[in-house]
Amino acid sequence: MANLLQNKQVKKQVLKHLAIVGGAVAICIIFSLVLFEQILHSGIWNMLLLTVIQLELFMYLGNRFFQSIKPDSPGIIKKTIIRLILFYFTVLLIATVLFVALFTWHFWRGGAPFSEFIPTLLHAEMGSFLKAAGVGFALGALFFFYTQWADSVKRMQKLKEEKLIFQYETLKTQVNPHFLFNSLNTLSSLVSSNPALSDKFIHKLSAVYRYVLENQEKDLVPLAAEMGFVKDFFYLQKIRDGEKIEMKIDFEETGTAKIIPVSLQMLVENAIKHNVASRKEPLLITIHFEGMDKLVVRNDLRQRMQLAASSKIGLKNLNERCKLILNREVEIQETADEFVVKVPLKLNDQSK
């Protein structure tokens, strides 16, 4: 699956660059006809090269300026106008510098006297360039902004839909009659046999519900908070299943990363729910880092003959939310003995 996702991303990037080249060719043809009344002229290849570079920079800077736009955020109109103006003058300035550099190179190769450099640049070349670039970038900036805005609105709508699904599934899972019945049944036994442990059990159970209610609407939560929630949840399961299940956390918690809320708990719960566990062969769940921006949850694969009822939507929903919020996907690997899920993280120093 990881290779498939990587190939998909490579193909997407290739198509993007081919589209840029095609757009550059179309722009050069139009401006050649307007300025020179013919397509082929002495400066066509320079124009094409410069246009390709400008469009690449245009797309890169456009993503940097507008990718984080949230149409429903306070003061978005004012912020957007300021970004749009800054974007326009930034790309125009960079394009001008590139144009002057390219012109200087060809002027030097041509062997013309240096005294003619400024007059030639200002009177023969710069006027046409600024006219074409100024109009082209103005139209391009408006069009690019419109597409980014429309994409942001679409992403927000999709994220809201995924959040509703997530909230419904999470609430249904956590307040599931079986989950509540098992927890209360365990608590009932502890009250009479171990009052001190029953008190701790109550606090853990309330912490689990409180975490879900407080964080189910958030996009991201600190990794340390999610790990605390996972530990509380696993504690409740451990009280009931005893030595049948084990969880190994193979890293030191850090405050530098954030994660989709209730994602790790869902993976731990799925591992317990869908696999056979016994005291003789306990189910081992391991959580560890892969690099700095990916957390791996792996468990022994011993599937039950009769699987517990499942909506089969948890992993799909998690993957959709990762794509919408982090622009990355969940990686799933399954072997004969092991089931592995890699969840992307957001580091604090990444762009917001």
Q: What is the CATH number of the domain that holds 308?
A: 3.30.565
Assigned domain for 2 exists: no
* 148 in the same domain as 211: no
Nearest 5°: CA angle at 253, between 202 and 228? 15
pLDDT, one tens digit per residue, over 106-129 is 677 666 677 667 776 666 566 666
* 212 in the same domain as 134: no
Three-state DSSP string of the chain = CHHHHHHHHHHHHHHHHHHHHHHHHHHHHHHHHHHHCCCCCCCHHHHHHHHHHHHHHHHHHHHHHHCCCCCCCCCHHHHHHHHHHHHHHHHHHHHHHHHHHHHHHHHHHHCCCHHHHHHHHHHHHHHHHHHHHHHHHHHHHHHHHHHHHHHHHHHHHHHHHHHHHHHHHHHHHHCCHHHHHHHHHHHHHHHHHCHHHHHHHHHHHHHHHHHHHHHCCCCCEEHHHHHHHHHHHHHHHHHHHHHHEEEEECCCCCCCEEECCCHHHHHHHHHHHHECCCCCCCEEEEEEECCCCEEEEEEECCECCCCCCCCCCHHHHHHHHHHHHHCCCCEEEECCCEEEEEEECEECCCCC
* 257 in the same domain as 331: yes
pLDDT, one tens digit per residue, over 227-244 is 999 999 999 888 888 889
Assigned domain for 170 exists: no
Nearby residues of 191 by Cβ (< 8 Å), 6 or more positions away: 198
Assigned domain for 44 exists: yes
Name the pairing type of β-strands 221-222 and 257-259. antiparallel
Per-residue pLDDT band at 322 (split at 50, 70, 90): confident
Assigned domain for 171 exists: no
* 99 in the same domain as 212: no
* 343 in the same domain as 278: yes
pLDDT, one tens digit per residue, over 158-207 is 666 666 565 545 544 544 556 667 777 788 778 778 888 888 888 888 88
Q: So what's the pLDDT on residue 314?
A: 75
Task: Report which of residues 80 and 259 the model is more confident about.
Answer: 259
Assigned domain for 223 exists: yes
Q: So what's the pLDDT on residue 39?
A: 78
Q: Span 128-144, mean pLDDT?
A: 68
Q: Which of 131, 159, 187 is where one domain is finished?
A: 159
Question: Of 29-43, 58-72, 321-335, which range is least confident?
Answer: 58-72
Q: So what's the pLDDT on residue 240?
A: 84
* 203 in the same domain as 150: no
Q: Which of 105, 128, 159 is where one domain is finished?
A: 159
The residue range of the domain holding 149 is 17-159
Assigned domain for 149 exists: yes
* 21 in the same domain as 119: yes
* 34 in the same domain as 131: yes
Answer yes or no: is pLDDT of 218 > 90.
Answer: no
* 218 in the same domain as 113: no
Q: Which of 211, 155, 212 is nearest to 326 (CA)?
A: 155
Question: Of 25-39, 172-186, 338-352, which range is least confident?
Answer: 172-186
Q: So what's the pLDDT on residue 270?
A: 87
Q: Which of 159, 189, 224 is where one domain is finished?
A: 159
Assigned domain for 182 exists: no
Here the contacts of 288-291 (C-beta below 8 Å, separation 24 or greater) are 288/249, 288/250, 288/251, 289/251, 290/342
Phi, psi (rounded to 5 degrees) for 305: -65, -40
Answer yes or no: is pLDDT of 34 > 70.
Answer: no
Q: So what's the pLDDT on residue 245?
A: 94
Task: Report which of residues 145 and 210 the model is more confident about.
Answer: 210
Assigned domain for 123 exists: yes
Q: So what's the pLDDT on residue 222?
A: 92
Here the contacts of 271-276 (C-beta below 8 Å, separation 24 or greater) are 271/297, 271/299, 271/339, 272/237, 272/241, 272/245, 273/308, 273/310, 274/303, 274/304, 274/307, 274/308, 274/310, 275/299, 275/300, 275/301, 275/302, 275/303, 275/304, 276/302, 276/303, 276/304
Task: Report which of residues 328 and 39 the model is more confident about.
Answer: 328
Q: So what's the pLDDT on residue 219?
A: 84
- State the Cα–Cα distance between residues 131 and 99, nearest whole angstrom: 13
Number of domains, the chain: 2
